[in-house]
Chain A
Amino acid sequence: MDYFLQQLINGVTLGSIYGLIAIGYTMVYGIIGMINFAHGDIFMVGSFLALIMVVAFGVTAAMPLTLLILVLLGILVVAMVLTSVWGWTVERLAYRPLRGSFRLAPLITAIGMSITLQNFVQLSQGARNKPVQPLISGGFTLMGGDGSDGSFVVQLSYLQILIIVVTTVLMIGFTMLINKTSLGRAQRACEQDRKMASLIGVNVDRTISLTFVMGAALAAVAGLMFLLYYGVIDFYIGFLAGVKAFTAAVLGGIGSLPGAMLGGLLIGLIETFWSGYFSVEYKDVAAFSILAIVLIFLPEGLLGKPEVEKV
């Protein structure tokens, strides 16, 4: 039971990170119907930007708590802004010129962009693992005392709380943005009918760009969280995280925001429980298999709308 609880906590934390990345996939798919294969690498870039700032500002756990939180917040904002610029540039260079081209063309450029980003970061930052010291340590012990009697200790760390809280806040904010603001309205309009939206005065190109920007900003948040949670990153993290987040988006129903969050949580839980109870080696196989199974048997996902094929 206590082992289960610990896995549950870990799974929810991991799932929050996947959910944040999955939103980027789902929004882009919703609006232009393409799989932004490079999104995982945008997440990786965000993570690296956060890492560079953490190292450059000399952020350590020894800082006073308020200062630490302020600095991390500052890093988060700057990383979000710069990663957004990356997201915008990728869209501008690789996808916009191909809008209206045949369906697989943007997917191929997306793969090219993904390779480019990975190798760019590998070249500019080096291929080795980049470890950072844990910045936020400690937490609540929920069960099992201090572990002196040999029982299993269930811990909820401050970092996990932070990740879950930040994710929840961002997701609520995001849902409001999509549902309440004029930008969200424009996005939903583009999603339904791009031509019609442009006829009634929606700047379609700008809306699509902003979608990429928002997705990239959320990926940057996920990048910082990933860095804090695992303490080590390399240029290749984007591939696996990207595929898992994409799985999450598909599982939840691609194009649906709540679906992405739900899918992220589920994938996080499945992965943690799989490695907790079965085998760690095959945890990536689990994610990939779920992707294949969901796509084959439930292509519209849990919360998605069935797609109507139009001639």
Chain B
Amino acid sequence: MSDLVSESRLKASFKDSGIAALITLALSFMLIGMRTEISIGGLAVDYRWAAVAITVVVVFAGRMLLNMYVWRPETPRTVTFRTVLLGLSILAALVIFYLVDRFLGAVAGLSPARAIESNDWLWILLLLALAVVAAIVATALLGLAEKRAAPTGPGAAASIKAGLAPLGKWLPLALGLLAVAVPFILIEWLGSRGSRQYLDLAILVLTYIMLGWGLNIVVGLAGLLDLGYVAFYAVGAYSFALLSQYFGLGFWMCLPLAGILAACWGMILGYPVLRLRGDYLAIVTLAFGEIIRVILLNWYDFTGGPDGISGIPRPTLFGIEFDRGDDGFAALFGLQYSSIHRIIFLYYVILAMALVTNFVTMRLRRLPVGRAWEALREDEIACRSLGINTTNTKLSAFATGAMFGGFAGSFFATRQGFISPESFTFIESAVILAIVVLGGLGSQIGVVIAAVVMIGGFEFFRDLQEYRMLVFGLLMVIIMVWKPRGLISTRKPTIGLKRRTGISADMVQEGQG
């Protein structure tokens, strides 16, 4: 293996990594090494050189590894590629080990929750076995992908895709069934008390999936970058909260109203700005999002300002409330009252709403307007010369996306029972955008995976909560640089001529692919 690593290669890698380490030193020695802390009589500096040293060493080592094993297109991927494979497999195994350890331990009700701490050799053996299997499977899959890729060259990706096609067909159905079954599985395993937190998490994830799907119409299908999507979420939430506060309307009455209002706002905002170029549009939507938030924050008499609105009514099942009373859900159905009923109900409400969003999007993609969105995304000028009214097309995408944002917002309000402008900051927009971007612009299943991984990941690594936004910003950059089309990139148009022509890399680079 060592003969593959030529001496000049080593030298070059060493030099490159050294430069990277030096730059890291320049970047970090003050910001990391000298922390300003408030002390008596103003600020004082707390020196932390060890942290700087660790950062520099990590960057050097990481860059060295990348130089030696990843960025070497000129050598054939033989032994070294296997090494990388092995490394990846070990990594996959470690991740799976950790996940299974944390999750299965909790599910099986072990105490302490983590299997590895339980000193139960059977569990540890099982974990190890699972990890080894995962490693072998990962190696085999990656190796297979490589083998398939090797002879066909550029068409390799297609052959892998073809291999995965049946998976793509059944995955949504399987996921849907799983989603329907989740509350019962959780309750069966953890009891109604233990499952509550996981159900809450599932509701949160579904909310983000719905928001992601809504934004996907705007960003993924129509190719309009919307940085203020949270504004429509806020409009939906506040519409419901205010309507219920001032007119005493219930959730089901307000849900369509909130959607309509959000769509109207989408049109009011969209009409003047949609003739702007892509990046200007992004900034204007950002500004609009902030304006809405600042107004909500300062219009104290109407919106309650920073105090927000509380006492928002809960949703009912055809008028049946989920409370302890005689005509409550539990009493009517002869069940023993439990607060979990309402959580489960909320779960199914958001699941249904999300599925409706998905369904509508999938159908819209087959309508002329959906085709026009995709065409617009690919080439606006061509669209215009073909007689598509670009303003109306953009507007319809914007309003549809906004409507789903409004629906999700009103669900958010009814779930929380309390809303304040705090929940609608720019970061929220960025999270939703990241879900869409990381999942692959325009891919419905990608949004699901990205939302589950990201929102679930946030909760999972709660101990590392302060690092999560940092990691998340970095991921946005890395994934965009590494795979600009997103992790699951199905940006192919919904419809095409019989003969699929490959889009060359040049076209993609010019933004036409």
Q: Do B290 and A52 have beta carbons less than 8 Å apart?
A: no
Near A by CB (< 8 A), chain B positions 34-55 give: 34-38, 42-45
Determine if A115 and B510 form an interchain contact, defined as CB atoms under 8 angstroms apart. no
A 280-311 to B, binary, CB cutoff 8 A, 1 in contact else 0? 01101100110110011001000000010101
Please tell me if the beta carbons of B381 and A116 are within 8 angstroms of each other in the complex: no
Q: Give chain A nearest CB distance to B242 CB in angstroms.
A: 20
The smallest beta-carbon distance between B465 and chain A, in angstroms, is 11
Complex CA gap A168/B283 in Å reads 29
Contact B467 A123 (CB under 8 A): yes
**A94 interface contact, C-beta 8 A:** yes
Q: A153: CB under 8 A from chain B?
A: no
Q: Determine whether the beta carbon of B27 is less than 8 Å from that of A86.
A: yes
* CB within 8 Å for A89 and B294 given contacts A116-B477, A120-B31, A121-B31: no
Residues A52 and B30 in contact, CB atoms below 8 Å apart = yes
Please measure, in the bound complex, the distance between the C-alpha atom of A98 and the C-alpha atom of B430, giving whole angstroms: 20
Q: Which of A66-114 contact B (CB under 8 A)?
A: 82, 85-86, 89, 93-94, 97-98, 100-105, 107-109, 111-114
Give residues of chain B (284-310) contacting chain A, Cβ–Cβ below 8 Å: 284, 286-288, 290-291, 294-295, 297-298
A115 touches B476 (CB 8 A): yes
- Give A112 Cβ to nearest chain B Cβ, in Å: 3
Q: Are B480 and A109 in contact (CB under 8 A)?
A: yes
Query: Beyond A112-B475, A124-B31, A284-B294, is A107–B225 a contact (Cβ under 8 Å)?
Result: yes
A101 contacts across to B, CB distance below 8 A: 484, 509, 511
How many A residues face the partner with a CB closer than 8 A?
A: 66
A65 at interface by CB-CB < 8 Å:
no
Closest Cβ of chain A: how far from B46's Cβ, in Å?
10
What is the 8 Å Cβ interface bit string for chain A, positions 199-219, against chain B (1 contact, 0 not)?
Answer: 000000000000000000000
A49 CB contact (under 8 Å) in B31, B287, B474 = B31
Pair A85/B27 contact, Cβ less than 8 Å: yes
Q: Is B426 an interface residue (CB 8 A)?
A: yes
Pair count A-B, CB < 8 A = 182
Q: Which of B255-263, B272-280, B331-339, B390-398 contacts A (4 or more CB under 8 A)?
A: B272-280
Neighbouring A residues of B175 by C-beta, 8 Å: none
Q: How far is the CA of A85 from the CA of B286 in the complex (A)?
A: 28
Considering the complex, give the chain A residue whose CB is closest to the CB of B227. A111
Known interface pairs A107-B279, A121-B31; A97-B470 also in contact (CB < 8 Å): no
Write the A248-283 contact mask toward B (1 if CB under 8 angstroms, else 0): 001000000000000000000000000000000110
Nearest-CB distance from B363 to chain A (Å)?
A: 26
Known contacts A123-B466, A132-B42; decide if A45 and B31 are in contact (CB<8 Å).
Answer: yes
Smallest distance from the beta carbon of B457 to chain A beta carbons, Å? Answer: 15
Q: Which residue of A lies closest to B437 (CB)?
A: A108
In B50-65, the 8 Å CB interface with A consists of none
Q: Are B31 and A119 in contact (CB under 8 A)?
A: no
B433 interface residue per 8 A CB criterion: yes
Quick check: B509 and A35 within 8 Å, CB to CB?
no
Residues of chain A within 8 A (CB-CB) of B508 are: 102
Whether B100 is near chain A, meaning CB under 8 Å from some CB there, is no
* B481: chain A residues within 8 A (beta carbon): 93-94, 97-98, 109
CB atoms of B290 and A288 under 8 A apart: yes
State whether the Cβ of A180 lies closer than 8 Å to any Cβ in chain B: no
Judge if A183 is at the interface, Cβ distance under 8 Å. no
Given contacts A108-B476, A115-B473, contact A295 B276 (CB under 8 A): yes
Is A111 a contact of B433 with CB atoms below 8 Å? Answer: yes
Question: Is B227 a contact partner of A296 (Cβ separation < 8 A)?
Answer: no
For this complex, 27 residue pairs linking A to B, each with C-beta atoms less than 8 Å apart, are: A35-B282, A48-B31, A51-B43, A55-B44, A98-B480, A98-B481, A100-B509, A102-B508, A102-B510, A102-B511, A105-B480, A113-B473, A116-B470, A119-B467, A120-B470, A124-B28, A125-B35, A126-B37, A239-B426, A250-B283, A285-B290, A288-B290, A288-B294, A289-B287, A291-B284, A295-B273, A299-B280
- List chain B positions with a Cβ less than 8 A from chain A: 23, 26-28, 30-32, 34-38, 42-45, 223, 225, 227, 272-273, 276-280, 282-284, 286-288, 290-291, 294-295, 297-298, 381, 426-427, 430, 433-434, 437, 466-467, 469-470, 472-477, 480-481, 484, 508-511
Q: Lowest 6 A-B CB distances belong to which pairs? A: A112-B476, A115-B473, A116-B473, A102-B511, A119-B470, A288-B287
